[in-house]
Amino acid sequence: MTRLVVLAGPTAVGKGTLVRALRERNPDIWLSVSATTRSPRPGEVDGEHYHFVSDDEFSRMIERGDLLEWATVHGTHRYGTPRAAVEENLAAGVPSLLEIDLQGARQVRAAMPEALYVFVEPPSMDELVRRLVGRGTEDDLERERRLRTAEVEMAASKEFDVIIINDDLDTAVSQLEALVLKPGKPRGNRG
Ligand code: 5GP
């Protein structure tokens, strides 16, 4: 059976970097492109990093049932996973990955309990703060908001099947790749 892996973890833990490195190593793994109401950051391409949509369009996607899950993230913008692309890729036997927030992961789990749920943790909370500040893409208020979300999210790691500690990137990529490509759920959690 084709595997769907749902990856979540606190902000700035390096999920984006991890997923990019995984796709470079293994382009056969499909990554869902989310819809979002936030504006593109410099360098972000519509349809590649996100589907950037208006608030109205996002509401229409919800009404039509186009989204497998959606959530308001960091109390600001809405993000959601287009359902059709996930179903098509799984039906075609393509190993698939969702990189979404915790609320979204919980919704997908309710709909697809057979997927594998993976939580990415920082080596320490201090390191998470360093990564968040170092990224420099958010202003002070936004950074504070995201840190608060991160603290709450860290407590949810026990809901997941597997925890990957994102310390050494290569090691973390190898762990994630094995999980996406390996059939069946590992037994017990933290496998
Ligand atoms: P950013 O704005 O930094 O690209 O993403 C902010 C957060 O939105 C990240 O934690 C990311 O996991 C989450 N996110 C991205 N796409 C989705 C989605 O489709 N659904 C949900 N629930 N969260 C998403």
CATH superfamily name and code, 4-181: P-loop containing nucleotide triphosphate hydrolases (3.40.50.300)
* 153 touches ligand 1 (CB under 6 Å): no
User: Which ligand 1 atom lies nearest to the CA of residue 34?
Assistant: 19
Cα 181 from Cα 185, distance rounded (Å): 11
pLDDT tens-digit profile of 7-40? Answer: 999 888 899 999 999 999 999 999 999 999 999 9
* 166 touches ligand 1 (CB under 6 Å): no
What is residue 116's DSSP assignment?
A: E
Phi, psi of 121 (to 5 degrees): -115, 150
Q: Which residue has the higher pLDDT, 10 or 58?
A: 58
pLDDT tens-digit profile of 122-143? Answer: 999 888 888 877 777 778 888 8
Cα 160 from Cα 125, distance rounded (Å): 19
* 101 touches ligand 1 (CB under 6 Å): yes
Cβ contact 180:5 at 8 Å:
yes
Cα 13 from Cα 11, distance rounded (Å): 6
Cβ contact 7:99 at 8 Å:
yes
Q: What letter represents residue 106's amino acid?
A: R
* 182 touches ligand 1 (CB under 6 Å): no
Nearest one of 22, 130, 37 to 78, comparing CA atoms: 37
Cα 88 from Cα 28, distance rounded (Å): 15
Q: 81 CA distance to ligand 1 centroid (A)?
A: 9
pTM, 2 dp: 0.90
Tell me the average pLDDT across 87-107.
Answer: 95
User: Which ligand 1 atom lies nearest to the CA of residue 102?
Assistant: 22
Q: Is 17 helix (H, G, I), strand (E, B) or coil?
A: helix
Report pLDDT for 190.
46
